[in-house]
Chain A
């Protein structure tokens, strides 16, 4: 009986280690992306100009320049889309930015996106399933630092009927 008990006691640390590995509150990795793309299946009318919506969200605590920043030095948010057969792409429509200033430099006015923002993509598509691939280029900052420009892959999947 004692041997069995000793054996069981030896198993306990192993069980505790297994619990530790499975912890969900382990330190979070720092973000490598500051904008999130919410891909969603869309359904549109074939043969007519329709507007697809691309939903993005800037991670809390950060901002990105709008498509029309107030200085030529700043890097605008911009989408590049690859041509695809059966889909005629029109010019992308960007939302207006909001005015923003760094706490350390209130005189410098920026034009940025924070939180959720939606980019509109007018298309005329033939009937069928379509996938348009592209890239969202953006440059993010927070109150104290800026981060090199990043390219976020974007895939727009929709059905034209």
Chain B
């Protein structure tokens, strides 16, 4: 009698656990449906307090991979390829004329371009908003004071670099053509310089393969 009583209690207990799991799952699905209907958007965990460092929007997905090759046109109409800089450390920076944080870091890039030129370091600024027009982009680039190449994107290069849901996006490519660092959003000047130093130090042989 005692055994059957104990068995009954255990069966009821397990049944309750199964029911609770099913009920919880059902409630979550209903909550998700309600959220979709009301256009409720979940608040990001870090974007709001960004500014102290790089925005944690995306997990890096290019780090450790060969930088995708590209050939784009610069503001003078000249073709520029990533492979033109084979064997050199390169910073591929995506920006747009409507992006305030992009324009904060670009003068720093100009400074670092000059500071680390002797080590072969090169910055390429890829404009994400070609629809703004070449004249406007040229005017903005001059106003910011950058002298490194500004290239007009073709839609394919953004996709090749994983799609751009956020700007600025920077890819630090070492001498071997491998992305050693990837950042989304505005970082501090010190962080950017640290990434540049890391990129210059990384990769040894100028006989690179892949994108470059």
Interface residues of A (CB under 8 A from B): 1, 4-5, 8, 11-12, 14-19, 21-24, 28-34, 36-39, 59-62, 73-75, 102-105, 108, 110, 139, 141-148
Q: Is the CB of B100 within 8 A of A110?
A: yes
Query: Is the C-beta of B165 less than 8 angstroms from some C-beta in chain A?
Result: yes
Q: Which of A22, A39, A145 contacts B24 (CB 8 A)?
A: A22
Instruction: Name the distance in Å between A105's Cβ and chain B's nearest Cβ.
Output: 5
Query: Is the C-beta of B118 less than 8 angstroms from some C-beta in chain A?
Result: no
Interface residues of B (CB under 8 A from A): 3, 7, 10-11, 14, 17-18, 20-28, 31, 38-45, 47-51, 53-55, 57-58, 96-104, 128, 132, 136, 140, 164-168, 184-187
Chain B contacts for A33, CB-based, 8 A:
39, 41
If A12-B17, A22-B28, A102-B101 touch, does A61 touch B11 (CB 8 Å cutoff)?
no
Q: How far is the CA of A22 from the CA of B96 in the complex (A)?
A: 42
Q: Is the CB of A24 within 8 A of B28?
A: yes
Chain B contacts for A59, CB-based, 8 A:
41, 43-44
Chain A contacts for B166, CB-based, 8 A:
145-147
Q: Which of B11, B20, B48, B102 contacts A146 (CB 8 A)?
A: B102
Instruction: Name the distance in Å between B13's Cβ and chain A's nearest Cβ.
Output: 9
Q: From B54, which residue of chain A is reached at the shortest CB distance? A: A144
Given contacts A75-B98, A103-B51, 4 further A-B contacts (CB under 8 A): A15-B17, A17-B21, A18-B20, A32-B41
Q: Is the CB of B47 within 8 A of A142?
A: yes
How many A-B residue pairs lie within 8 Å, measured between CB atoms? 158
Q: Which of B26, B102, B186 has the most CB of A within 10 A?
A: B186
Query: Would you list the 3 A-B pairs with minimal beta carbon distance, nearest first?
Result: A61-B48, A18-B21, A22-B24
Q: From A56, which residue of chain B is reached at the shortest CB distance? A: B39
Instruction: Name the distance in Å between B63's Cβ and chain A's nearest Cβ.
Output: 18
Chain A contacts for B100, CB-based, 8 A:
102, 105, 108, 110, 141, 146
Q: Is the CB of A36 within 8 A of B55?
A: no
Q: From B140, which residue of chain A is reached at the shortest CB distance? A: A73
Instruction: Name the distance in Å between B38's Cβ and chain A's nearest Cβ.
Output: 8
Q: How far is the CA of A61 from the CA of B51 in the complex (A)?
A: 11
Q: Is the CB of B41 within 8 A of A36?
A: yes
Q: Is the CB of B164 within 8 A of A8?
A: no
Q: Is the CB of A145 within 8 A of B41?
A: no
Q: Is the CB of A146 within 8 A of B21?
A: no
Q: Which of B28, B43, B50 contacts A145 (CB 8 A)?
A: B50
Instruction: Name the distance in Å between B114's Cβ and chain A's nearest Cβ.
Output: 21
Instruction: Name the distance in Å between B91's Cβ and chain A's nearest Cβ.
Output: 17
Instruction: Name the distance in Å between B41's Cβ and chain A's nearest Cβ.
Output: 5
7 intermolecular pairs with C-beta atoms under 8 Å apart? A17-B21, A18-B18, A59-B43, A73-B98, A73-B136, A141-B100, A145-B185
Q: Is the CB of B43 within 8 A of A142?
A: no
Q: How far is the CA of A147 from the CA of B98 in the complex (A)?
A: 10
Chain B contacts for A14, CB-based, 8 A:
18
Chain A contacts for B96, CB-based, 8 A:
146
Q: How far is the CA of A5 from the CA of B10 in the complex (A)?
A: 9
Q: Which of A5, A30, A39 contacts B57 (CB 8 A)?
A: A30
Chain A contacts for B3, CB-based, 8 A:
1
Q: From B13, which residue of chain A is reached at the shortest CB distance? A: A8
Chain A contacts for B104, CB-based, 8 A:
102, 104-105
Q: From B3, which residue of chain A is reached at the shortest CB distance? A: A1
